[in-house]
Structure 1
Amino acid sequence: MTIASSYPSVSRSGAKVKLVAVAKDEAPYLAEWVHHHLHFGFDEIEIYINRTSDNSEQILNKICLHHPNVSFQYADWIDACHDNVRRQLQFIIYAKAFAEAKSAGRVDFIMFLDIDEMWTPNNMQKKVGDYLIDYLDADSVSFGWINEQGGNEAFQTISSSINGQLSPLVKTAVNVRAEMVEVALHLPKTKRLENKVFGGESFLGQPTNRECLHPDLIRIREVMIVHRMFRSESEYIATLGRGRPSDDFPLKLNRGGYNKASGAHTVFALQPPAYLAYRTAYSEFIHACLLADDLQYAQQSVLARCDWVLDNLTSMPVEVLDQVLRVFEGCSDEVKRRVVESIKVSGMLETLDNRQNALTLAMRVRPLNFQLAKYIMAKAALL
């Protein structure tokens, strides 16, 4: 189902900005994410939901009813393409959204964020368009990134004092007048390459990764992208069970563990009076859109998926066992115990076909879980 909107224009002097996201089973977080970016003046918000089994549609329907500049549509049609194509789902959607924004001519910039990424000014008041009005001559404007540390309580809204690690990665607002060469997750390629970092400097990347900031440019700025990939332990584990569009593994393996993020530790402090007003506005948003029951249901679904992940590792190939263990690094001892027990009873290790392969796997596993490595070596002795 597609929710259409006329997207009424916003009367102010700032630049007009559209925000686009791709979401899979993110129902507990959609309301906070949409409200957050409406609060900071994004003129249009469009969400593509794909391969989704939760109540995202119900939540988005209610939000769209009250906020006509928010829309959503399904992107499952991409799954009808060849396997090599559907693995590029996110890039296809980004390219489509950029072309449509360019053709429509209603906005000056388009930005692509995931649902766990939040564009956040530390004053908690100024709008995105008021910042970007000074960059209308640039092809793109990149914002620095902070990986927020997870906490003990599940489903917490963004904190007034964000503890985390500075990352060299960025997220980028792209001028719709730019000539797009290639969309990308963090820094799209444009023809002129007039790329800026928020703050005024020209974008300078790293030799090994053009989408990462040069070390001289990495610092806390007035606006940051807050990456909430950890949240709480149970939520982190649940996200692992969503997999990735780019591979067929049922477990997301591109994580280094819970609260495991490189970079210098920092604190991104939000101004208290404006932050309290923001929290009040969010509560009013939930009430106005009648979302309380939907969010409670969505949260229970996440906790259930956490248990499912811990108990069902049966479909992971034994060749990636060390990667499976790595994504649970930083988790509690109880979680690690459940992971090992699930692996032992899953039948995964029964696919080891010779002693040398088993011994090699044991050596890869040993730094991550010594007891499981011993268990594998004992099995190797029987081959």
Structure 2
Amino acid sequence: MFYPGELSRYFVSHRVYRSELEYVSLLGRGRPRNYDDSPAKMTLKNNRFGYKKTSTNSVRLAFPLREKYVVGYYDFINVSKIQVDLDRAKNFVMLRYFNVLSAIRDMPEKEYTLINQVLNGVETEEVLQAVDYFQSKWKSINDIRSLANELRSEALSYEQHDIVLALKMMTMAKKLRPGGPFINKKIEEYESILEGKK
């Protein structure tokens, strides 16, 4: 929180808000008792409600002070020999970020509400593209399901007076839904009827 007025000579600046990248990466920590950060099994944290924008309040340090701070910061890293650890930590965050993007694309349809919930406010282009892919994928799948249902219904309406046409329609439905047990059962039934008429 920012308090207007003169700053003390010494203070600790604590960043309250994470970057969008860090926020999205942390979504990959998963849900309690269901942790697996591989893209194939990843579940997003469901106790997050969107990315909060940073405060508009700011403190500007005079250039000499800022330069002195930056030089001191890198001197500390060199003296303490933690650069390798810092790089490893950054790489871990980046890897989990890209795993989250991959997981979003592969999420089941039931996670639609969760994705909208946890990614509310996120504007990073890569994330938006992953969400678009997820939405488009399930829209296409649902369109195919709908068409298969329509063909199945039409076939049923014709089976009493045009079994050949009914078989053609049910066969087209099978191409869209090859594992449909009812569709496969009806095709066998229609073929059996036609075979008996020969």
**TM-score, normalization by structure 1:** 0.29
Q: Which one has the bigger helix percentage? A: 2
**TM-score, normalization by structure 2:** 0.50
Please tell me whether Structure 1 or Structure 2 has the larger radius of gyration of its CA atoms. 2
Q: Which has the higher contact order (CA 8 A, sep 6+)?
A: 2
